[in-house]
Structure 1
Amino acid sequence: MSQRIAIASSDGKNIDLHFARATSFYIYEIDQKAFKFIEIRKPSAANSHDESEFARTLKLIEDCSSIIVNRIGRGALAFIQAKGIRIFEASYPIDVVLKKLIDKKIIQEG
């Protein structure tokens, strides 16, 4: 079963954005064998550390079971984890991280 993952990236190649400052999330569908780019989603307001903005951003990517960001603050991390969404911090190319998620079997069958 596939899952959707939201990745904070400015260029679609590297994971280089902080969650609260993310201007775009690249959405990927991933399963135990492969991943596929779906679309880009843009939050209405970046650079906010307010829970209402966290909630608005999460609404934008609510179909994603995991989020990968370069960095995330403690407040946002706690808020997102309380919603049952997995968070990963990474600062590598997107394809490298997605392949590692598959190879390490971090993405499990539903």
Structure 2
Amino acid sequence: MRVAVVTDDGKTVSSHFGRATHFLVATVEDGKIIGRELREKVGHGRFANEPHDAEPSGRPHGMGQHAQARHGQMLEPIADCEALLCGGMGYGAYENVKQRGIRPVVTEIPDVDQAVLAYAEGRIIDQIDRLH
């Protein structure tokens, strides 16, 4: 299985999906990480000069049409992954990840390898209270 982790340094799980610069994609077989690939990730900064919609009335962060398009661009590099682990993200990004058939998991585990193995072993807890 392939698991993507939002990171800036390849070692630590980033606390913010939108601001992170990379994905660490880990390949796991038989409970062991057998491969790692650092992939570039489009971040919020790329979209600074693009239009931003106001959030639809009563809806959480990142649910507007422009936000969904930006999330899609951010997620293209991990289309081959089963899950996406991060330390935090907006509600809209979380829903967009699910819509693309990738399982989003918000975790408090700071170490990339530990988070990946916890996911692979079914021990990880999705901390949805960390969504914003």
TM-score bracket for this pair, using the shorter chain length: 0.7 to 0.9
Output the amino acid matched with 1:78. E
TM-score normalised by structure 1 residue count: 0.80
Q: Which ranges of structure 2 fall in alignment gaps of 5 or more residues?
A: 48-61, 125-132
1:98 aligns with 2:116: yes
2:106 to 43, 64, 89: 89
Output the amino acid matched with 1:9. T
Q: Which stretch has the larger CA shift, 48-57 or 59-68?
A: 48-57
Output the amino acid matched with 1:38. R
Structure showing greater radius of gyration is 2
What SS does the corresponding residue of 1:8 show, helix, strand or coil? Answer: strand
2:27 to 6, 29, 44: 29
For residues 11-43 of structure 1, what are the alpha-carbon distances to aligned partners after superposition, in whole Å with 9 as ceiling and x for unaligned?
Answer: 111102411112100110013421133311112
Instruction: Determine what percentage of the aligned residue pairs are the same residue.
Output: 24
**Cα separation, 1, equivalents of 2:25 and 2:98:** 19
Q: State the superposition RMSD in angstroms.
A: 2.0
Q: Which residue of 1 aligns with 2:13?
A: 15
Q: Which ranges of structure 1 fall in alignment gaps of 5 or more residues?
A: none
Higher relative contact order (CA 8 A, sep 6+): 1
1:79 to 85, 90, 96: 96
- Corresponding residue pairs, total: 103
TM-score normalised by structure 2 residue count: 0.68
Q: Which residue of 2 aligns with 1:51?
A: 68
